[in-house]
A and B are shown apart, each in its own frame.
Chain A
Amino acid sequence: MKFAVISFPGSNCDQDVCHVTGEVLQVATEILRHDVRQDLTDYDTVILPGGFSYGDYLRSGAIARFSPIMEDVINYAEAGGLVLGICNGFQILLEAGLLPGAMKVNDSVKFVCRQVAITVESSETAFTGGLTRGETLQMPVAHQEGNYYIDPAGLEQLKADDQIVFRYLNQEENPNGSLADIAGVCNQEKNVLGLMPHPERASEKILGSEDGKKIFASLLDYLSSREES
């Protein structure tokens, strides 16, 4: 099994994700540069980490999506490859059109970093197969643009196709004012997931929560059973 973490200029959670998948979960993980075209087919999962790609001076993720390697990520996703975008990675997936919707600045207009409670809304993805619908997870968020938005028709579509994967537990737990308390969505094919909370920050007991590890554990279970079959 082998994971790829894409490092854009300004990514700052690439090493963190690599630490969790590589050291904690013991999956071979490689960090790939944004500016080198890559055949990604050999990787079992591609992760777009958090950070401030290109400083987020324009809309978050708006420049990163033009990075050469994004063409390979899009090809990989369209071929059914598993793609996980965390925080800035989620924003990049939205900008790249791999996920529906858009991100606005938090209602508070401020950066927010704190632990929040989210609920699992769908266990129909490779990332949440080991979780049960309605299960609550404790995970940190850290962002200024996490206010997810989609038009009413789009929202209906998301609901109809079971694409809302995570929600903040309630309005108080919602750190950014996102529509319908949405914290994470997937594409229709369910192989691409983006979420604002940071599962890699909740994958070791010493850091206060291991709930994020459950997402990675689901992923590993899915991949192991795929390898066996």
Chain B
Amino acid sequence: MTEEKVWESEGLTAEEYEMITAGLGRQPNRTELGMFGVMWSEHCSYKNSLAVLRSLPTEGERVLQGPGENAGIIDIGDGQAVSFKIESHNHPSAIEPYQGAATGVGGIIRDIFTMGARPIALLDSLRFGELDDEHVRYLFEEVVAGIAGYGNSIGVPTVAGETFFSPKYQGNPLVNAMCVGLMDQQDISTATARGIGNPVMVVGAATGRDGIQGASFASDELTEESEEDRPAVQVGDPFREKLLMEASLELIKTGALVGIQDMGAAGLISSSSEMASRGEAGIEMDTALVPKREEGMTPYEVLLSESQERMLVVPRQGKEELVKEIFKKWGLNAAVIGKVTDDGKIRVYNQGEPAAEVPVRLLVDDAPVYQREGCRPAYLNELQEFSTGDFLAKQKKNRRGTDYNQELVKLLTSENLAAKNSIYEQYDHMVQLNTVILPGSDAAVLRIKGKNKGLALTVDCNGRYCYLDPERGAEIAVAEAARNLVCSGAEPLAVTDGLNFGNPLNPEVFWQFERAAAGITRACQELATPVTGGNVSFYNESPAGAIYPTPIIGMVGLLEDLSQATDQYFKEEGDLIVLLGETGAELGGSEYLKVIHDRVGGKIPELDYIREKSVQNLCLKAIKQGLIKSAHDCAEGGLAVALFESCSGNSRGARVTVETELLPEELLFSESQSRIIISLDEENMAEFSELADKSQAGYQIIGRVQGRTLKINNLIEVEIEELKAKWQAALPAMIN
């Protein structure tokens, strides 16, 4: 390597190197350059996304902590609060799927207990290539095992999630994990270093050479050679993190802390400089004092190591022994490595010898922010012009006597619509004794012990929609997440967003990112669900090209009365089935087009906010008045798939008749938004109608819960038990 291009090995550009030299008034040494390399990486600085993210709505009555901390916090009343956040671990999972996924879970759990909250739930949102590829099967199985291995061991239930397969994720799977924690508001902690002379301590695991430059690695595209970056993937130890969690929560309760921060991406350097930045202070530290498990580590290595299960804490002066005592009880290290200073500099020593000296401002706050150029992708014209109506008309001529039963079976046994129980049964989804509605329904519902309240949780995104229309696709992700919560009986409160995109330097990718952010902004404003934090993951590309734009929406809702928790399953013979909202001819971007005709194209479904809000309000009101027994969002796969799902839980049949001018394919499989299928006792119908007639939702009685088959007009008649067996067997069969 020539001296002139030394910045390249740290992932910096020549211009950025200039900025550093100008800011320091001299050339940085190797250690300092390494610090800038990770701190100015996309992963830490959000340099390519910050300008766009500023538009997201982040304020609301219930928001106690918005973006900028380890996780957002919302007020749920009674002096309690919920902290939650989603984070990606895509690149590590592509290279070393088990550890990549496991440490993704470990990282997001640390973010939550750092805020002072006890983690009570995990959710996962996964994307893979198609399962006919052996390597994809390996990635899929190992990612699921990694999430299970970490979450199960640490004792935080994984209660909900989604898994979607498309060739677009072939070389670059997405592994996003969300964690939710519960706390008393008085225990809220922040990641701030304040108070001149206060000690800075590293607690938890010892530091090794693992994961060095992981943050920079995450900010680059995956190539054929990425497998060589395996050492940049960390190894997780859920057992130690369980101890770290208990020790940290115990320490936070003592009130001895000024600040606490997870040592995640970019390890000690990011945690110390971000804490100093928030406290408008400086920190000086000696890397020789950091407990290590390898010999001869340089300051560069100690600063950049991403060894897992470590935290940086700043207690009040004189509380050092208390910190050590608590961590010793849990069998963990706690060492003073430095102190808070007043000169706004990160000063690093190695056995007293100066190793680096950098202004915090330059390292953190003055990191470059780029206004990237966006440009509407060329592929969109062709794809959006594709007319599903014309296509179906043409198909009709060629095909006579379509067997809709077969099409429904084909859909339900396709990888995206097949039952996901073989995934979530590998996750302990019950530990902590709070899970009232288990995985598989629209949203998970957790009780809050000692109160009559509950939380509803979901993650949602349709990447194919976002590919065809990033803005509306993102709006639909928000709307559907909210609808899922409403179906469970909860009022949607707030959002965490996991934004997964390709290379932002590609104007077409950046356009997708901008449009998706605009979509989230609009939908979150309309539905009054502010964004309290999240994660941006760029460079999700593989030799096959960029992934589908995938802005994953994690949403938290509140049930004021837990007895109103509602699932999607039909309950009793004879109950009426009612469809809220309206079905249109909207097969663009649908599972039907993809699975039956191998087509991706067309205009994705419309989203009318007046109708969306009316449908959600009507459903929630009806649940609160105790009128309905089940509620299910009618989404991917359309009415036929949603009806089957409602039948499946308690193995009930349904007889459904819908008068319509739509084509049979449209009636059965159209993915029109703002629709919910409810069931209710006939006795409650009059009262429900009274409510519904005042609403702009629109509704029609479409049938009854009846028998053991699902019958829709004269198009579909399937045995529920038999189809359920096929539906559940489909995914395992694709693996073996």
Contacts and interface: CB of A to CB of B under 8 A. Distances in A.
B433 A111 contact: no
B425 A114 contact: yes
A56 B421 CA distance: 25
A113 B433 contact: no
Contacts of A51: 155
B366 to A, nearest CB: 42
A13 interface: yes
Nearest to B429: A113
A66 B505 CA distance: 57
Residue among B145, B153, B424, B428 with the most chain A CB within 10 A? B428
A54 B239 CA distance: 6
Interface string A130-151: 0000000000101010000000
A111 B155 contact: no
Contacts of A19: 433, 449
Contacts of A110: 145, 148, 426
B152 A142 contact: yes
Contacts of A16: 431-433
Contacts of B240: 55
Interface stretch (A92-100, A187-195, A200-208, A221-229): A200-208
Contacts of A56: 153, 239
B430 A142 contact: yes
Interface string B554-571: 000000001000000000
B435 interface: yes
Interface residues of A, number: 31
Nearest to B732: A108
B331 interface: yes
Nearest to A20: B433
B155 A13 contact: yes
Nearest to B436: A206
B447 interface: yes
Interface in A44-85: 50-52, 54-57
B426 A55 contact: no
B242 A12 contact: yes
Contact of A206 (B152, B424, B430, B562): B562
B427 A113 contact: yes
A15 B430 CA distance: 13
B428 A142 contact: yes
Interface string A3-37: 00000011011011001100100000000000000
A112 interface: yes
Nearest to B437: A208
A64 to B, nearest CB: 12
Contacts of B447: 206
A112 B436 contact: no
B702 interface: no
Interface in A153-188: none
B64 interface: no
A9 B436 contact: no
A61 B154 CA distance: 16
A207 to B, nearest CB: 6
Nearest to A203: B433
Contacts of B427: 111, 113
B106 interface: no
A12 B431 contact: yes
A206 B430 CA distance: 12
A55 B433 contact: no
A12 B426 contact: no
Contacts of A55: 153, 237-240
A204 B152 CA distance: 22
Contact of B432 (A15, A52, A112): A15
Contacts of A12: 153-155, 242, 431
B627 interface: no
Given A19-B449, A112-B426, A114-B425, A57 B239 contact: yes
Contacts of B421: 114
Residue from B145, B239, B240 with most neighbouring chain A CB atoms (10 Å): B239
A111 B152 contact: yes
Contact of B433 (A54, A112, A114, A200): A200
A17 to B, nearest CB: 9
B145 A140 contact: no
Contacts of B432: 15-16
B6 interface: no
Contacts of B435: 207
A13 B449 CA distance: 15
A9 B431 contact: no
A112 B243 contact: no
A112 B424 CA distance: 9
Contacts of B149: 111
The residue among B421, B426, B430, B435 with the most chain A CB atoms within 10 A of its own CB is: B430
A10 B153 contact: yes
Contacts of A113: 152, 424-430
A52 B436 contact: no
A111 B562 contact: no
A121 B711 CA distance: 43
Given A111-B148, A111-B426, A52 B433 contact: no
Interface string B142-153: 000100110011
A81 B427 CA distance: 34
Nearest to A24: B433
A155 to B, nearest CB: 28
A20 B434 CA distance: 12
A87 B607 CA distance: 48
Contacts of B449: 19, 23
B153 A142 contact: no
A102 to B, nearest CB: 21
A140 B430 contact: yes
Interface in B545-601: 562
Interface in B139-191: 145, 148-149, 152-155
Interface in A84-125: 110-114
A143 to B, nearest CB: 9
A201 B429 CA distance: 11
Given A142-B152, A207-B436, A10 B430 contact: no
Output the residue of B242, B432, B433, B435 with the most chain A CB within 10 A.
B433
B425 A201 contact: no
A50 B447 CA distance: 21
Given A111-B152, A113-B426, A113-B428, A9 B433 contact: no
Contacts of A23: 449
A217 to B, nearest CB: 18
Contacts of B428: 111, 113, 142
A50 B155 CA distance: 10
Contacts of B429: 113
Interface string B425-460: 111111111011010000000010100000000000
Nearest to B449: A19
Most chain A CB within a 10 A radius of its CB, from B148, B152, B562: B152
A198 B429 CA distance: 13
B430 A52 contact: no
B445 to A, nearest CB: 10
Nearest to B439: A113
Nearest to B445: A206
A31 to B, nearest CB: 12
28 contacts: A9-B243, A10-B243, A12-B153, A13-B155, A15-B432, A16-B431, A19-B449, A20-B433, A23-B449, A51-B155, A52-B238, A52-B242, A55-B237, A55-B239, A110-B426, A111-B149, A111-B152, A111-B427, A111-B428, A112-B425, A112-B426, A113-B429, A114-B425, A201-B430, A206-B447, A206-B562, A207-B430, A208-B438
Given A15-B432, A110-B145, 20 more contacts: A9-B239, A9-B243, A10-B239, A16-B431, A16-B432, A19-B433, A51-B155, A52-B153, A52-B239, A52-B242, A111-B152, A111-B428, A113-B425, A113-B430, A142-B431, A201-B433, A204-B433, A206-B447, A207-B435, A208-B438
Interface of A: 9-10, 12-13, 15-16, 19-20, 23, 50-52, 54-57, 110-114, 140, 142, 144, 198, 200-201, 204, 206-208
Nearest first, the 4 closest Cβ-Cβ pairs linking A and B are A12-B155, A55-B239, A52-B153, A142-B428
